[in-house]
Structure 1
Amino acid sequence: MDTAASLPEAQQAELSQSGMQQSTVRLSDCIQLMQADLVHANPTPENLGHPVSDVLMYDPLDNWSSVDNRIILAVGCTYGSPDFDQLLHRAANSNAAAVIVKAHGAKMEQLRSAAVGYSLSVLVAPDNADWTRLVALARASVMGAAADSVSGVRLGDLYAFANAAASITNGAASIVDPLGRILGYSTLPGQPIDELRRITTLTLQETTQPAFDQDFRIVYAAPGAVMVPALDDGMARLALAVRAGGELLGSIWIIDPGEEKRATALNALDRMAPLAGLHMLHARSASDFGERRNADLIRTLMEDTPHASFAAAQLGLDTANGLAVAAFSIVRPETGSLESVRDIHRLLHLVTTVCNVQFGTSHSALIGSVVYALLPCNGASPRAVHGRIIQEIEAYSHTISPFPVIATVGGIASDIENLPRSRSEAIQTLHYLRKKVQGVGKVQGVALYEDFQIPLNLLKIGGFIEDNGMGGADEIARIQARDAEQQTDYLETLRAYLASNGNISAMAAQLHVHNNTVRYRVTRLAGDFNLDLADPQKRLWLWLRLTTMDLASK
């Protein structure tokens, strides 16, 4: 896996020599590192160059003993209120670096006028911004700016950051989230790795969940970077828990570079902590936004036909040959637990990866508890490709969860308007297979819609009969009532009669009774319930009722 091109030698030298040097933190540095949607109401050179030391949540009852050079987050303060004016006055007189506020209907000209009046930096955040996230980003940006940005690394690019960390510490690096997912890993050539590192970079998942791994517990409990001894034939690691605002974001793991370089690497790893937190916060925010946007667009395609064309354009879908909706779910005895959430997100990653390999692109999303994917219909045999894709995903599913995975594909939608039908077919097949898997446990949970089209259509007919009250007082209802009341077996006799097309010998074999017994039962059935079993329409109705009832109960 460690075969990608390394960073240029000059850049590596820059990282090693100056990447971890302390520097004066200016407001402009923090704003750039935060990468939040902040509008500066008074961006003078003096304001942008103001030094920053920390972040403070505003409390009107606080004594403000140490506000100097701090960024103040004005939670609950609105323009024009006494608290707002008091806050700006106190911040300006206390040499605060900046105040972050929300407009809440105020015009930018009003906020700019207030900022200029107090000669203060006022940063305006969107009304829907999450204060908790802003606090974490602001604090991480201050600490990250103090450690200096890693040259050449785009904020939130954890693979590039892992390469930088590996270059500085002289050991292969991996970045892991609290659920054990590999968020990024280094690819510098020549750095030794072991089998555990190979496995985790292939699966993008730790072999043991951090919550149950003693090494992770040690790292999370340590105040700084620590050395984790080697186990069996593996290599020792240097590791660091990464936090922002007290929240655990994950950890960095470095292959031990050896005794001579270990102390320097541990010190460098400690110095990287604030910047690592900033990168991980931005990566998580970008990932969350990307997943939400993808899910919203795919949901629009499948549920909101008037706006489906817009969603398709945003996703860059190629619809020339049609699309089919695939649906994936995990059959678990319980849902909503941390384990179930972890498994379904790993399923999303698996579906995305397999589709990327097969089609060169992937349009997949987690909506509710179901993972959806839009499958192209290119080539002469698109259904054969669809079948192979879901079989491959099901075959790999044991690597993400101990529970069965159901994988289905709806029919081909020739245009965007038919995607809701394909999605409905995929879900119908999914629910049908889920019942079979839960009931038997040995059934393969993979199918195209046409594999079960007949029973699924019959279930629709059964639903129509039920919804319209068409079977409330017919012969089947009366037979059920008699069997329940008198412990008779008329319904079983009728079921055998219809299944064997009235063949007495076949019925006797099925019911394990004599032919004469069968004749007697059929006679009683017809007489007691006034059934004309010679009427083909009557037989059809009775067969539909029994078949749809049996399918619904399975």
Structure 2
Amino acid sequence: MQAGLVHANPTPENLGHPVSDVLMYDPLDSWSNVDDRIILAVACAYGSPDFDQLLHRAANSNAAAVVLKARGTRMEQLRIEAARHSLSILVAPEDADWTRLATLARASVMGAAVDSVSGVRLGDLYAFANAAASITDGAASIVDPLGRIVGYSTLPGQPIDELRRVTTLTLQEIIQPAFDEDFKRVYSAPGSVLVAAEGEGMGRLALAVRAGGELLGSIWIIDPGEGKREAALEALDRMAPLAGLHMLHARSASDFGERRNADLVRTLLDDAEHAAFAAAQLGLDAANGLAVAAFSIIQPEATSVESVREIHRLLQLVTTVCNVQYTTSRSALIGSIVYALLPSQGPAARTVHGRIIHEIQAYSHTITPYPLIAAAGGIAPRIEDLSRSRSEAIQTLHHLAGLQASGRDAPKAALFEEYRIPLNLLKVGEFIEDSELAGTDDISRIAAHDAMHQTDYLDTLRAYLASNGTISAMATQLHVHNNTVRYRVSRLMEEFKLDLTDPHKRLWLWLRLTTMDLGATKPAEPGPALIGRIHDVN
């Protein structure tokens, strides 16, 4: 099950006990047949009356095992209880989710019983779709409740229509199942149904797939025609239990894989001491260095169900595009930011990195109506340097989001080096502010004077520094006459006693104005979906 369970008493008899099913135990329920079954002891603590009663009942009913959480109980105590009752006791991690454990256990148990019969590796939805297409003689697609295509057939010679072609390319239904009348009809039907063709499209045979009352998704088969339709519908109905098993196992495996990937990627980015081990576990090609790419959807509300779905669709999109380019790329969702580790292959590695993030940004309209911001940090030559690449990616991401928020015409995807100078200047500005170097310097005094007297000395100084003191260039920039510019400059120098011929003074004034202007492009509060949190990795 790959669930981190510890066996308290792994004797040959216990390990050899057959298993037929998995039960969630509630001490208030009437006792049912538990012969050869695994019992999940939810909320049963060692030493409690419920715990003692459970072990007694399980041992007398030939249960296969009891799974519980130690809750501080020493393993030796549990081992004594297991031996006293001649019963297998498995200890789950304290943070284990009981529902997920039940899913993993049931998928493992059912898989052992039917996998050899099905002829398809358990959880391989693409192979299962091919099997379904072969049996029904129609191209098959498997769709999860969110409308994602999680498996489709590839048998040659089977006709498809434009809808099938589009959804296979995008791995997403055009209309979400929650708003599609055909899906609603399929979900409410007790078995497989015929969905009539519309326009130039083809008809479908469809079946809702459930396990224990939970909707796992649906199977859609291109209608093979009137002569084969009834046999195909009957075959679909017979497939229902096996389809549920495959989808349940695929979902569990995907969930475990996502969590493991996220944990390993987080180790790579945050824990330099164990980064090499994590890279080996992920099978990364780090010979020529790696770059970290970051992707974020700028949403007004990042905690709604729909926003969470969009973030997971983004993870799927990033994974798909990166896997097309690289065989060893890895993606993970950490917080609400999707990260991708991009290998650096060949002299044009950065060109490829730029193309990938722009490509993902261009596809983003298929998963969300909100803007997607994408950025790639610099190439980290060593695994231990990946945290720097991540920091660069997040800084660039934040800067692009600020430019978008300020209404500027800026790209939504960029490499770090494209904004290296403004990002470094922003760091200088933060250093000036954090170190309180500005105090009440000239810029502060001029800004205060402008605010109080409705003057524009700061704009005049900004134009002076930008044009290197050229009066005609300043006049063009400020849209005033040359003489007006000369008057404003002289008043500026007299009012604030500025010596603009001093190069050190000009450098300081330019730094202060430039860093202030760049800082003004930063959103006052980063959008919810940009929370990583950004300052955690700067």
TM-score (norm 1): 0.84
Deviation at 1:55, TM superposition (A): 5.6
Deviation at 1:47, TM superposition (A): 8.6
Write the letter of the residue equivalent to 1:169: T
Report if the CA contact (8 A) 2:140-2:220 is conserved: yes
Check 1:209–1:336 CA distance in 2 against 1; reply closer, same or farther (3 A cut): same
Three-state SS of the structure 1 residue aligned to 2:438 is coil
Report if the CA contact (8 A) 1:182-1:200 is conserved: yes
Report if the CA contact (8 A) 1:326-1:372 is conserved: yes
Write the letter of the residue equivalent to 1:274: P
Deviation at 1:537, TM superposition (A): 0.7
Q: What per-residue deviation string (whole Å, max 9, x for no partner) do you get for residues 368-397 of structure 1?
A: 222222222221222222222223323333
Q: What per-residue deviation string (whole Å, max 9, x for no partner) do you get for residues 144-200 of structure 1?
A: 889886422222111222223333333322111111111112233343332222222
**Pairing partner for 2:464 from 497, 505, 517:** 497
Alignment match, 2:68: 102
Q: Count the aligned residue pairs.
A: 514
Please show how residues 288-367 of structure 1 align to structure 2 within 5 Å: 288-367=255-334
Write the letter of the residue equivalent to 1:400: I
Write the letter of the residue equivalent to 2:492: L
Q: What per-residue deviation string (whole Å, max 9, x for no partner) do you get for residues 377-434 of structure 1?
A: 2212222222222233233333333333222222222222222222211211111112
Check 1:261–1:497 CA distance in 2 against 1; reply closer, same or farther (3 A cut): same
Check 1:232–1:97 CA distance in 2 against 1; reply closer, same or farther (3 A cut): farther
Alignment match, 2:525: none
**Pairing partner for 2:339 from 372, 387, 393:** 372
**In 1: Cα distance, 2:158 partner to 2:452 partner:** 78
Alignment match, 1:157: 124
**In 1: Cα distance, 2:442 partner to 2:246 partner:** 69
Alignment match, 2:233: 266
Deviation at 1:123, TM superposition (A): 5.6
Matched, 1:178 2:145: yes
Deviation at 1:525, TM superposition (A): 1.6
Report if the CA contact (8 A) 1:141-1:275 is conserved: no
Check 1:99–1:440 CA distance in 2 against 1; reply closer, same or farther (3 A cut): same
Alignment match, 2:204: 237
Report if the CA contact (8 A) 2:115-2:122 is conserved: no
Report if the CA contact (8 A) 1:145-1:275 is conserved: no
Deviation at 1:46, TM superposition (A): 13
| Identity %, equivalent residues | 72
Alignment match, 1:10: none
Deviation at 1:138, TM superposition (A): 5.8
TM-score (norm 2): 0.86
Write the letter of the residue equivalent to 1:377: S
Three-state SS of the structure 2 residue aligned to 1:494 is helix
Q: What per-residue deviation string (whole Å, max 9, x for no partner) do you get for residues 126-154 of structure 1?
A: 23442223444566778888988642222
Question: Structure 2: 5+ residue runs without aligned partners?
Answer: 522-538
**Pairing partner for 2:90 from 117, 124, 141:** 124
Matched, 1:280 2:247: yes
Moved more, 63-72 or 267-276: 63-72
Three-state SS of the structure 2 residue aligned to 1:87 is helix
Report if the CA contact (8 A) 1:98-1:123 is conserved: no
Q: What per-residue deviation string (whole Å, max 9, x for no partner) do you get for residues 425-461 of structure 1?
A: 1211111112223333753222222212111111111
Three-state SS of the structure 2 residue aligned to 1:192 is coil
Alignment match, 1:455: 422
Three-state SS of the structure 2 residue aligned to 1:250 is strand
Matched, 1:466 2:433: yes
Check 1:68–1:325 CA distance in 2 against 1; reply closer, same or farther (3 A cut): closer
Check 1:217–1:141 CA distance in 2 against 1; reply closer, same or farther (3 A cut): farther
C-alpha RMSD of the superposition: 3.0
**In 2: Cα distance, 1:280 partner to 1:497 partner:** 67
Q: What per-residue deviation string (whole Å, max 9, x for no partner) do you get for residues 40-93 of structure 1?
A: 96775999468x5x7653333334376678654322224554323322333455
Alignment match, 2:28: 61
Three-state SS of the structure 1 residue aligned to 2:489 is helix
Write the letter of the residue equivalent to 2:349: P
Check 1:262–1:36 CA distance in 2 against 1; reply closer, same or farther (3 A cut): farther
Question: Structure 1: 5+ residue runs without aligned partners?
Answer: 1-33
Check 1:178–1:481 CA distance in 2 against 1; reply closer, same or farther (3 A cut): same
Write the letter of the residue equivalent to 2:262: A
Deviation at 1:474, TM superposition (A): 0.7
**In 2: Cα distance, 1:109 partner to 1:185 partner:** 48
Alignment match, 1:250: 217
**In 2: Cα distance, 1:211 partner to 1:460 partner:** 47
